[in-house]
Amino acid sequence: MTRALVTGGNRGIGFAVAAALAAEGLDVVIAARSGGAEAAAEIGCDWVAMDLTDDASIQAGLADAGRIDVLVNNAGVLWDEGLFSSVDHFDATMAVMVRAPWLLMRALLPGMGPEGRVVNMSSGWGSFAEGIGGGGAYGPAKAALNALTVRAAGEAPVGVKVNAMCPGWVRTRMGGAGATRSPEEAADTAVWLATLPEDGPTGGFFRDRRPIQW
């Protein structure tokens, strides 16, 4: 059975992605710093403790997760502040949304077979075409994640597909109650990318299953 790891799967978009992948018949494990047990019980999947700002925690979580065929780098952080407001927030943003996905891909890509899939949860705020936006270092981090996506797709094993996506403005703790999309709507493109057929795209950036500009 195909086994998927979803970071930040304890709530919001990550929870919706994990639940949808489980409904598709995948063996799902969510990675979370807290709340993982409750979310996993609701979905009916496994979970591992993982603090994405801590390299040792990432490695321990990977060891507990076991073999992974599908990786969804979903976890994110956002502060409503200027780019140069906080060194600590800058470091945490880059750790969660750039360094951790790099570490996870570095660890998991070599062991993936042709069915391997990586989905990097990016944002229009990380698109140069749409204007780098968001609070703090959020936009620059997502732009860096997009760059990692392109390079990782070029170095991935044969058949493995690595793509990025923008979920849109979603009603989550980060997006707020006034957002226009549900987590389930946002999860659709992630599930599509996680289950692409052999002739599916790689090294692309998508919203609502359609390519968008970097």
Residues annotated as catalytic (active site), given as ranges: 138
Question: Whole-angstrom Cα distance, residue 102 to residue 23?
Answer: 28
184, burial (CB in 10 Å: exposed 0-12, middle 13-18, buried 19+):
middle
| 137: phi then psi, degrees, rounded to nearest 5 | -95, 15
- The encoded tokens of residue 165 equal 């996506």
Assigned token pair, 107: 């660890």
- Asked whether 153 and 162 are in contact (CB, 8 A), the reply is yes
The neighbouring-strand residues paired with 162 are 118
Amino acid code (one letter) for 169? W
Tokens (6 digits) for 174: 């980060």
Q: How far apart are the first and last CA of the chain?
A: 33
Q: 207: which strand partners?
A: 210
Give kind and range of the element (H or E) at residue 61. helix 55-65
